[in-house]
Amino acid sequence: MTALFTIPVNFTEATVETLTFRFIQTDVPVVSVQVSGGSTVGTAAFNVSDDAIQTYLTTYSQKLELIPSGQVASTYTTLVNDVLAQSQAIYAAGNPIQATALLNTLTPETLPAPPNTSITIVLIAALAVVLVLAALFFVMLLRSRAGHGFAKGTMGEVQKELASLEITAAKYDKSLADRLRNLKDKLGEAI
């Protein structure tokens, strides 16, 4: 026995005002077998959907495999799961066409590969080296200034001592006092 059944094209559609919603019709009795006395001895029930619903279901199953198959990096897990959940909500509301359009935004081309972590590690290491070198330069600069300050202070004390010796030497020897003044002036230029 062979039978051909046709289901109306709009069997999965429900229209409210100007909006059309599509829902899978579950357990629709397509075949009913009755004995000659009128009692039903068996039925065959099927789920009925249309092309838009089937397209959504196929697309959804493909998008579920984006991360496990490695087509999209696992760093996008939250984003992919959120889009899948949103599409499921739109589909459950009866709009598989818009749900499919939302799923089609998830492609490996629209989700770029995450940055290479080895480059990030190298950049962080380089930054650490630069910071260490800057700290060493700062310490050396402080030591240099401290040494310079000490030398300047010592030379200032020597200048004072030479000035007092110059005054004392001026009482006894004019040429010795002039030499001491020249030494004091040269020390002043060095500071």
Q: In DSSP terms, which residues pair with 6 in a beta bridge? A: none
With respect to residue 18, please indicate whether it lies within any of the assigned structural domains: yes
At a CB cut-off of 8 Å and minimum separation 6, what does 80 contact?
A: 63, 66, 67, 72, 106, 111
pTM here?
0.53
More confident residue, 56 or 36: 56
Q: Once rounded to an integer, what is the mean pLDDT over residues 1-13?
A: 74
Q: How confident is the model at residue 101 (pLDDT cuts 50, 70, 90)?
A: very high
- Amino acid (one-letter) located at 36: S
Mean pLDDT of the chain: 84
Q: Once rounded to an integer, what is the mean pLDDT over residues 101-120?
A: 83
The residue from 103, 128, 150 where one domain ends is: 103
Q: How many domains does the chain have?
A: 2
The residue from 103, 130, 147 where one domain ends is: 103
CA pair distance 34, 43, nearest whole angstrom: 9
With respect to residue 5, please indicate whether it lies within any of the assigned structural domains: no
User: By 3-state DSSP, what share of the chain in percent is helix, strand and coil, each rounded to 5?
Assistant: 60, 15, 25
With respect to residue 34, please indicate whether it lies within any of the assigned structural domains: yes
* Helix or strand (DSSP H, E) at 40: strand 40-48
The residue from 46, 70, 103 where one domain ends is: 103
Q: Residue 135 burial (CB < 10 Å; 0-12/13-18/19+)?
A: exposed
Q: pLDDT at position 191, please?
A: 63
Q: pLDDT at position 126, please?
A: 92
Same domain, 83 and 126: no
Same domain, 91 and 137: no
